[in-house]
Copies of this chain bind each other. A is one copy, B any other.
């Protein structure tokens, strides 16, 4: 079994289980990260594991997340502690001819490294980039943050050095002899879709839906 494209950047990111699903090329990894905006960030506090779902975005070789300046998670992470960043997309349920071979189709990325708090200037740049990637034009459309709101927000980033991807697609893979069985096998694909924008019921009369909302596409 081949261990995917390119090489693992470190022993820690080398996939041990199902290593034939591994993806180490940066384009594949970036596409998985950019396909959504929900990640999970794990960190250790007082020796205990924590994992927090949060929104992320990527700028070049860094992933970013943000939150309240008073957040316990960010206050811990801003010290530069080790974190484990994870993104997962569930793409389907794979039903095999043998119970042992049922599986799921998915795309995931895992990255290790030390969290880094962004300074004020970079924080403002990064948040504006986040908003404008989410919906091009949105940064100029909505009211920009006050100084107090800027102060209330922290941005943390992680350099994508130790990073690996994992992708499973396609049909079940059964043991040779099971292909002769009468059992059905196949995939039930799953897909995250967006529904039409729902204007805020409190919207003032006469405010039309702007282009950025009409053209909104989830995933960067």
Residues of B within 8 A of A82 (CB): 48-49
Q: Which chain B residue lies CB-closest to A201?
A: B171
Most buried by B among A47, A84, A184: A184
Q: Which of B40, B138, B184 contacts A203 (CB 8 A)?
A: B184
Chain B residues with CB below 8 A from A67, complex form: 17
* Bound: A93/B38 CA distance, A: 11
Partner of A131, one of B42, B49, B102, B200: B102
Instruction: Output the least CB separation between A1 and chain B (Å).
Output: 14
Q: Which of B53, B138, B190 contacts A86 (CB 8 A)?
A: B53
The number of residues on chain A lying at the interface, defined by a beta carbon within 8 Å of a beta carbon of chain B, is 92
* Pairwise interchain contact A68-B17, C-beta atoms closer than 8 A: yes
Measured in the bound complex, the distance between the Cα atoms of B50 and A82 in whole Å is 10
Question: Does residue A30 face the partner (Cβ distance < 8 Å to B)?
Answer: no
Nearest CB on B from A79, distance (A): 14
Partner of A83, one of B17, B49, B183, B213: B49
A20 in the interface (beta carbon within 8 A): no
Given A44-B48, A49-B83, answer yes or no on A143-B216 (Cβ-Cβ < 8 Å): no
**Judging by beta carbons under 8 Å apart, are B44 and A47 in contact?**
yes
A134 on the interface (CB 8 Å rule)? yes
Closest to A189 in B: B195
Known: A17-B68, A36-B90, A50-B42. A200 touches B213 (CB 8 A): no
A-B contact pairs, 5 of them (CB 8 A): A41-B51, A51-B86, A53-B108, A184-B210, A188-B197
Given contact pairs A51-B110, A98-B142, enumerate 6 new A-B contacts (beta carbons under 8 Å): A52-B86, A53-B108, A99-B139, A102-B138, A185-B200, A186-B199
- CB-CB nearest 8 A-B residue pairs: A42-B51, A53-B88, A42-B42, A98-B143, A42-B49, A100-B149, A185-B200, A189-B195
